[in-house]
Amino acid sequence: MGADACYIGSIALFAVSHPQLNKALPFEPPTTLVWYNAHYSSDFDIQKGAESLNNFLEACNLEIADGIRALGKTSFAQVSRDDLIAIDETVAKGCGIPMAYEPYVF
């Protein structure tokens, strides 16, 4: 759960700040826009950031739906471990799923 929370937090931070990065760049790092009490944090538009995050999460939802349809499924509940493959040998071994180049066994 901890790593997942960090990934989601990082993604959210990128999504909320990306459209407003030009307020801090090129002389200050982008983090000064979103950190509490940072140099450019008062310039950060919270409403615009929230809209940007909403757009990002909606796009993720649509991409997941496209992936589910590409698998020939109609809902996320139909996706199972049998639908997964890995492109990294370490991930494949750790998760117990086949590599992408291994032949599919019926």
User: What does the domain layout of the chain look like in residue ranges?
Assistant: 2-70, 72-106
Are the C-beta atoms of residues 40 and 53 closer than 8 Å to each other? no
DSSP characters over the chain:
-HHHHHHHHHHHHHHHHGGGGGGTTTTS-THHHHSTT-TTGGG--HHHHHHHHHHHHHHHHHHHHHHHHHTT-SSGGG--GGG--BSSHHHHHHHT--BTTSPPP-
Dump pLDDT digits (tens) for 67-94. Answer: 999 999 999 899 998 898 899 999 899 9
Residue 106: pLDDT band (50, 70, 90) is: low
* pTM for the full predicted model: 0.70
